[in-house]
Chain A
Amino acid sequence: MTATATSARSDLSELGRSETALRTFLHGLPGVDQVGAEQRAAQLGTRSIKTTAKAQAIDLAIRMVDLTTLEGADTPGKVRALAAKALRPDPADPSCPHVGAVCVYPAMVPHVAEVLRGSGVHLASVATAFPSGQAPLEVKLADTRAAVAAGADEIDMVINRGAFLAGRYQEVYDEIVATKQACGDAHLKVILETGELATYDNVRRASWLAMLAGGDFIKTSTGKVPVAATLPVTLVMLEAVRDFRAATGRQVGVKPAGGIKTTKDAIKYLVMVNETVGGDWLDPDWFRFGASSLLNDLLMQRTKLTTGVYSGPDYFTLD
């Protein structure tokens, strides 16, 4: 609980100038007690969201989905179909909202861009040698510029976890700053890969580091390591964006990604957003789900609410 929350706004912009200043600041952040954080997340998970609240939550969750495919086997045909689904998730129901964004590899960006152009659905591309980030900085920046040039308006970068865990915060910071510059007008989501950071203290520090360096969003995971988004990790990140806004006035978005498969899961996240950072973040501009199979479950639950009967996977598209 150091001076973080009360520091004058101008102070924080200076932190990136020295390794020592960054380290002092990040290590001065309040600790996170693992058991307490997990209990709070579990307790929020017991909220019972029914009827009107559930309908509201499902539509919001659909609007927050970053419909994602990040496979070696992705093809133009595959990603075009996905983009089409993003625009009209439930062809049978025109009242169903479109998703927040489509998220693909840089090479697939042009194919998706054709479909999404002018739709209001954002186009996100992973970049910076996703998912490991183990490439020279110049390569990562070129990766980023290429994706933006091809039409991506959101970039999902990975941080250098090796450097972070080794305590080379300046290096991680500088990479994020450089990537942000390479993004131009595109929004930058910074993937912390929380499954590799091992502790919530690290998640809190990495969150602040990403925000200090200019990230527009902080995102949990690549989906390529065994542990992806969890409720407690997202809780810690939500607390970080809340405290960061209190300290700097700048609002940063949060994106849990990977492992969120059911409507029930998604609603737990929305409850957590509601009770941790409040309504300001209950918007696709400030909270996203990185997911693929989640969308169909949301659609099935949505149909159940409108028709009163449980639907089945045969009634929703597989793309």
Chain B
Amino acid sequence: MSERVAVRKTYKLFIGGKFPRSESGRSYLVQDSNVSLASRKDARDAVVAARAAVKGWAGATAYNRGQILYRVAEMLEGRREQFVALGVPADEVDAAIDRWVWYAGWSDKLPQVYGGANPVAGPYFNLSAPEPTGVVAVVAPASPALLGLVSVIAPAIVTGNTVVVAASPTQPLAAVTLAEVLATSDLPGGVVNILTGALTETVPTLAAHMDVNAIDLTGVGDAALAADLEVRAAENLKRVLRPAPADHDWHADPGVTRMTTLLETKTVWHPKGV
């Protein structure tokens, strides 16, 4: 009896809820697979998809976003072994699942913790509330491939942002597989878009893109590249999360700064009268 010939997977990009190949037709060999090598135009297409998704996602109720993030955790739990098979340590997969659960719960709490009534000295109702900043470009950490990726995506989207993620160039398979999880988790297409390939090709485009509102440089290890990206980001005053230190502990309590940096505070005044 001959051994069954396995069906191999093609690892593609994740843009607008679909899995296209790079428009450039290129791929690169990594982790024993051919992975799409995203181009500047793919980055641009991803931003368009992310922008299109903002209205619906930011406009969804916090409860709804929380449910969907929890659904992601459920789906990931079901695919636990798949990630382990890709070489992701089991405890990292568990931590990644738990992180989705942790962030899912923030959706309807952060506005309460981070906003509220301001006691102004006058006859006014005055309320500050956080709002998503819009489209966020994210450079995922090179490693840990799954936990690092989840730890940068979840805080950005839980509040209503949409993201274009440049996945770890050296360990992209977890990212593409996570995309498959997201695609089956009720997450609207375009909320998360994932590009694989060389950071130097896609990220400068994202950093300079005038329709991107913020950039998370967490995964940029090269200080000179990070500084260059921050300079590009200044052109439309993107909100910037600077690179994480190399020794960052991805298992520690993430805190709220990742979420709050990607939020705007809107303060509304109204007179109180009869």
Contacts and interface: CB of A to CB of B under 8 A. Distances in A.
Most-contacted residue by chain B among A35, A36, A198, A199 (CB, 10 A):
A35
Interface residues of B, number: 7
B271 to A, nearest CB: 3
Contacts of B273: 33-35
A69 to B, nearest CB: 33
Nearest to A198: B274
B271 A35 contact: yes
A198 B273 CA distance: 11
B266 interface: no
Interface in B244-274: 271-274
A34 B271 CA distance: 8
A200 to B, nearest CB: 8
B124 interface: yes
A35 B120 CA distance: 14
Nearest to A34: B273
A35 B274 contact: no
Contacts of A36: 271
B274 A33 contact: no
B124 A34 contact: no
Contacts of A34: 271, 273-274
Contact of B123 (A35, A198, A199): A35
B58 to A, nearest CB: 30
B126 to A, nearest CB: 12
A199 B272 contact: no
Contacts of A198: 274
B262 to A, nearest CB: 35
Interface in B40-98: none
Contacts of B271: 33-36
Contacts of B123: 35
Interface of A: 33-36, 198-199
14 contacts: A33-B271, A33-B273, A34-B271, A34-B273, A34-B274, A35-B122, A35-B123, A35-B124, A35-B271, A35-B272, A35-B273, A36-B271, A198-B274, A199-B274
